[in-house]
Amino acid sequence: MFSLQGRSALVTGAGNGIGAAVAKAFAAAGAAVVVTDIDKDAAAAVAQEIVAAGGRAESAVVDVRDAEQAAQAAAQAAGLTGGVLHILVNNAGAIAPAMFPKMTADQFNRVLAIHVGGTFTVSQAALPFLATDGTGRIINVTSAAGLVGTIGQVNYSAAKAGIVGMTKSFAKELAKQQITVNALAPLAATAMTENIRGNEKLAAVTLARVPLGRWAEPEEIAGSFVFFASDAASYITGQVLPVDGGTVI
């Protein structure tokens, strides 16, 4: 039920953190994976690690704001399984924290462009290749910030809330093609949370809101992506699953 054997996957922002863990988990479950990142070397390193472990993977440089790069990567991933892409994970992201009164328009617009614009661009590029036999999946990445807000990241919260709305709209539109669209809202120890984890006061405040009282490792998050990508989630669409130690209850 959780096997991804014979399926292909495209994962953005997979050069490290949650994206890398998801790419590795997909490969371990049997999928052929295209690991993409704006950092060429990081993407290549993850793909090489997957191949060394006996999996099937390739890498590609993708700035998710670039429609041409997104289309090339989608075609590359589909090419691994006869021209059909089964799984897209929109994971690429960025942060530019600042309190609202001091946040610049550039900080706001850049974060929106990468998260919301990138999810739109890559999903649209992948759509012509996505399987319509019930195995097609789009899995977006949002955050508790997009569900309940956060201090010092109005841009990030707005972007992640936008992804929630996009997920639900995508799900309604693509259901007629038997493509499911869901989102995960994870909390993990990654480079994007390092600014919080590295600040004793911010870390304490954050963990006080986490009933399990700790940060997850990226590998703990990856299994939820495998679930959404697999046949076990074939009748789930338009949903947001927090994987955050109970932060959002």
Catalytic residues: 156
C-alpha torsion sign, points 190, 93, 77, 35: negative
Report the alpha-carbon distance of residue 240 to residue 100 in Å, rounded: 27
Which amino acid, 19? G
Report yes or no: 118 and 169 within 8 Å, Cβ to Cβ.
no
Count the Cβ atoms, other than its own, within 10 Å of residue 117.
Answer: 17
CB 166 within 8 A of CB 140: yes
CA distances, 114 to each of 1, 63, 206, 207 (Å): 33, 8, 24, 27
- Token couple for 101: 């009164």
User: Which residue from 221, 117, 224 is spatially nearest to 162, judged by alpha carbons?
Assistant: 117
Tell me the β-bridge partners of 180.
Answer: 137
Strand, coil or helix: 9: strand
